[in-house]
Amino acid sequence: MQPKELLYSKTHEWVRVQDNRATIGITDHAQSELGDIVFVELPNVGTKIQAGMPFGTVESIKTVSDLVAPISGEVIEVNSDLNETPELVNEDPYQRGWMLVIEMSNRSELDQLKNADEYEDFIRQR
Amino acid sequence: MKTPLYEEHRRLGAQMTNFAGWEMPLIYSTIVGEVLTVRRAAGLFDLSHMGQLIVEGKGAFNLLQRATTNDVSLLGVGDAQYTLMCGEEGGILDDLILYRLDLNRYMLVTNAANRKLDFDWLGQHSYGHVKITDRSSDFGMVAIQGPGSEDVLKGMSNFDLHGLPRFGIRLGYISSIECWVARTGYTGEDGFELYCSANDIANLWSNLLDHGEQTGLIPAGLGARDVLRLEAGYPLYSHELSRSVTPVEARLMWTVKWSKPDFIGKEAIWRRYSMGPQEVLVGLEAMDRCIPRHGYDIYCNGHIVGSVTSGTFSPTLKKAIGMGYVKFGCSEIGRIVEVKIRERYCPCAVVDMPFYRRQKQVCQQTCR
């Protein structure tokens, strides 16, 4: 079950909006498809990320996969705990496994994202 | 194709994958969890997709001596050896375990994808009194691997398992099911491979899991098996081994015995050996946060010098490891090469293999 208060992208990232800031991570579905995550490569604070473009990579034992920005903005915080304990993304994808906080540059992009029910339908159809 | 344990895997909730045409369990819980459990306790693997060829008769020895690179004359009844079959040009057709079951009866255990080719190849080269039978669909095969393996089997077997040496095999009963019990494996741990009738294998499987619960035995999938064999430095056919490499490049010359009479590929392998290989298989250890994976190019001084054949993150060693072929000049231990991972160049050190070596029992008791 997906947390109701979050928004979701087709590429399986979630967004938690607070004022003009957004926290970004990957969904429970995404972490479960990837399996044991061993490296998370994230941009530095100050980097501008752009909706639909890769902003980092996540590497599991099975595979390596791009992280795709669900919305645009400037990175203001990075979860450095993932350097040493990337498995947090597996264990707690919506809380301790968060990846970035960004200052959004275009709030209207949020309209493109799915709510929890829409995302649930989306992964069921796949 | 499905192994006789297919329903067991579904019941256990395994994530399945296609391997050489077989629907096999990839993961039951997590790869990391399964790997670490095999290193610490024990894991149970379904290997019923692998091929079993029985070679028997007065001519069996001569045929095998000619068709494989290792020296079959070193095998007593109840012994096994790791060996290769090579083509006339020296290319590796398969890597196998050869068991001597009886005076004139041997069992070759083949890779799933090569079973038919091996059978045909042996048929083409056989002469005299020899019978080759493909028993793959009659046999079920499981491996129990890890330091707790002997403990699990001890209470279930009708003979003294402790007396079975590494690379030994004997016929016995495990929970009243007749099995060939071999002390062999592909994980770098102590362990056993069990061959029994396909009709009995589901019972054997569940008896083992029930009995092994106290020891911490869990089912483990092909995902864990691949990581374990890589950590142990074992090559995998179709990754490290193929028809386009000889034992010289694959660093498997220890399985090639010059001292025996002619065998298929001997001359070609000798030529390659005496000239020296162009490229060789090396171990790689990532020096950065990246994983060298199958197919990635390897660079040395700005030039492509080879490619990665296998790679993973090692949960046991907590670092990324891999294997690959590189030009001989860039293959010395300690050399830093670069693996191109998408747009990035990841520095990797050429290292000695195996990456992981288990502590011997003696040391575990006295060195702690």
The pLDDT tens digits for B23-53 are 999 999 999 999 999 999 999 999 999 999 9
| pLDDT at B104 exceeding the cut of 70 | yes
- Rounded CA separation B86/A122 (Å): 51
- d(CA B195, nearest CA chain A) in Å: 30
In a domain, B237, yes or no: no
Q: What is the pLDDT of residue A2?
A: 86
Percent share of chain B, pLDDT over 70? 98
Out of B32, B289, B293, closest to residue A39 by CB: B289
Chain B nearest C-alpha distance from A53 (Å):
15
Letter for the amino acid at B89?
A: E
Identify which of B289, B312, B342 has the shortest CB distance to residue A61. B312
Domain co-membership, B160 together with B203: yes
Residue B308 inside a domain? The answer is yes
DSSP secondary structure letters along B193-227: EEEEETTTHHHHHHHHHHHHTTTT-EE--HHHHHH
CA dihedral B203, B207, B209, B212 (to 10 degrees): -160
For residue B361, name the pLDDT band (cuts at 50, 70, 90): low
Q: Could you give the angle at the alpha carbon of B215 between the alpha carbons of A90 and B146, nearest 5°?
A: 75
By C-alpha distance, the chain A residue nearest B318 is: A38
Contact B293 A64 (CB under 8 A): yes
- Give the domain range for residue B220: 6-47+137-230
Average pLDDT of the residues of chain B: 96
The reply to whether B91 and B63 lie within a common domain is yes
Distance CA A42, CA A60 (A): 15
- Amino acid code (one letter) for B179: C
pLDDT over 80 (residue B365): no
What residue in B sits closest to A38 (Cα-Cα)? B313
Q: Helix H segments across B2-111?
A: 6-11, 31-40, 60-67
Chain A residue nearest residue B227, CA to CA = A61
What's the pLDDT score for residue B230?
A: 98
Nearest CA in chain B to A57: B290
Residue type, A63: T
Regarding whether B144 and B97 lie in a shared domain, the answer is no
Q: Which of B30, B289, B341 sits opposite A36 (nearest CB)?
A: B30
Alpha helix segments (H runs only) across B160-303:
201-212, 222-231, 266-275
Selection from A65, A24, A72, A23 nearest residue A49 by Cα? A72
For residue B87, what is the domain's CATH number? 3.30.70.1400
The secondary element (H helix, E strand) that includes residue B116 is helix B115-125
Question: pLDDT digits over A39-65, tens only?
Answer: 999 999 999 999 999 999 999 998 999
Q: How close A100 comes to chain B (CA, Å)? A: 19
Domains of chain A: 7-125 (2.40.50.100)
Question: Is residue B113 classed as helix, strand or coil in its secondary structure?
Answer: helix
Q: What is the CATH number of the domain that holds B366?
A: 2.40.30.110
Cβ-in-10-Å burial (0-12, 13-18, 19+) of B15 comes to: middle
- In the listed set B82, B102, B133, which residue is the last one of a domain according to the structure? B133
In chain A, which residues touch B (CB < 8 A)?
35-36, 38-39, 41, 59, 61-62, 64, 90
Subunit contact B32:A59, Cβ cutoff 8 A: no
Asked if B306 and B324 count as a contact pair (C-beta separation under 8 A), the reply is yes
- B30 → closest Cβ in A35, A39, A41: A35
Predicted local confidence at residue A125, as pLDDT: 85
Both B174 and B112 in one domain: the answer is no
The reply to whether residue A35 touches residue B315, judged by beta carbons under 8 angstroms, is no
Q: Which of A120-124, B311-315, B341-345 has the lowest mean pLDDT?
A: B341-345
Residue B238 lies in a domain: no
Does B367 have pLDDT greater than 80?
A: no
Q: Which residues pair with B80 in a beta bridge?
A: B99
Q: How many CA atoms lie within 13 A of B246 on its CB side?
A: 24
Q: Same structural domain for residues B33 and B64?
A: no
For residue A126, the model assigns a pLDDT of 72
User: Do residue A39 and residue B313 have CB atoms under 8 angstroms apart?
Assistant: yes
User: In angstroms, how far is CA B275 from the centroid of its own chain?
Assistant: 29
Are B41 and B178 in a shared domain?
Answer: yes
What letter would DSSP give residue B241? B
Is the pLDDT score of B368 beyond 50? no
Domain end position, chosen among B230, B250, B268: B230
Q: Are B287 and B141 in a shared domain?
A: no
Q: Based on the domain organization, do B355 and B312 belong to the same domain?
A: yes
**Reported ipTM:** 0.85
pLDDT, tens only, A89-124: 999 999 999 999 999 999 999 999 999 999 999 999
Same domain, B43 and B56: no
C-alpha B331/C-alpha B261 separation (Å) is 32
Spatial distance between the Cα atoms of B9 and A6, rounded to a whole number of angstroms: 35
Is-contact B323 B284, C-beta < 8 A?
Answer: yes
Last residue of a domain, one of B230, B261, B287: B230
Q: Judging by DSSP bridges, how do beta strands B22-27 and B131-134 pair with one another? A: unpaired
Q: Strand A48-49's sheet: what is its strand order? A: A7-8, A13-18, A21-26, A100-104, A73-78, A48-49
B147 has pLDDT over 80? yes
Please check whether residue B1 lies inside any domain of the structure.
no
What pLDDT sits at residue B349? Answer: 98
- Chain A residue nearest residue B313, CA to CA: A61
Residues B360 and B318 in one domain: yes
User: What's the total number of domains in chain B?
Assistant: 3
Yes or no: say if B74 and B67 are a contact pair by the CB < 8 Å rule: no
Q: How confident is the model at residue B106 (pLDDT cuts 50, 70, 90)?
A: very high
pLDDT higher at B308 or B127: B308
What A63-69 contacts at long range (C-beta under 8 Å, 24+ apart), as own/partner pairs, is: A63/A34, A63/A35, A64/B291, A64/B293, A64/B341, A64/B342, A65/A34, A67/A13, A67/A26, A67/A42, A67/A99, A68/A9, A68/A11, A68/A13, A69/A13, A69/A24
On the question of pLDDT at B363 being above 90, the answer is no
B302 belongs to a structural domain: yes
pLDDT above 70 for B55: yes
Which residues of B lie closer than 8 Å to A, measured between beta carbons?
27, 30-32, 223, 227, 289-291, 293, 312-313, 315, 320, 341-342
pLDDT at B31: 96
Q: Is residue A1 over pLDDT 80? A: no
Task: Give the tens place of pLDDT for each residue, B65-96.
Answer: 999 999 999 999 999 999 999 999 999 999 99
Q: Are residues B25 and B95 in the same domain?
A: no
User: Helix B115-125 crosses helix B60-67 at what angle (to 10 degrees)?
Assistant: 120
- Residue A60: name the closest of A84, A80, A32 by CA: A32
Burial of residue B167 (number of CB atoms within 10 Å: 0-12, 13-18, 19+): middle
Q: Which of A35, A38, A90 sits opposite B27 (nearest CB)?
A: A35
Quick check: A36 and B312 CB within 8 A? no
Alpha-carbon distance of B355 to B19, in angstroms, equals: 25
User: Is B260 contained in some domain?
Assistant: no
Same domain, B67 and B205: no
Q: How far apart are CA B174 and CA B211, in angstroms?
A: 11
- Mean pLDDT over B101-119 rounds to 98
| Structural tokens at position B159 | 């003979």
CATH of the domain at B34: 3.30.1360.120
DSSP state of B148: T
Q: Residue B32 is nearest to which of A39, A61, A64, comparing CB atoms?
A: A61
Which DSSP helix (H) or strand (E) runs through B16? strand B15-19
DSSP character for B328?
G
Q: Does residue A84 sit in helix, strand or coil? A: helix
Contact criterion met (CB below 8 Å) for B36 and B316: yes
| Chain-chain contact of A35 with B31 (C-beta, under 8 angstroms) | yes
Continuous segment of H or E residues that includes residue A124: helix A116-125
B248 located within any domain? no
- Cis, peptide link before residue B354, omega less than 30° from 0: yes
Average pLDDT, integer, range B213-225:
97
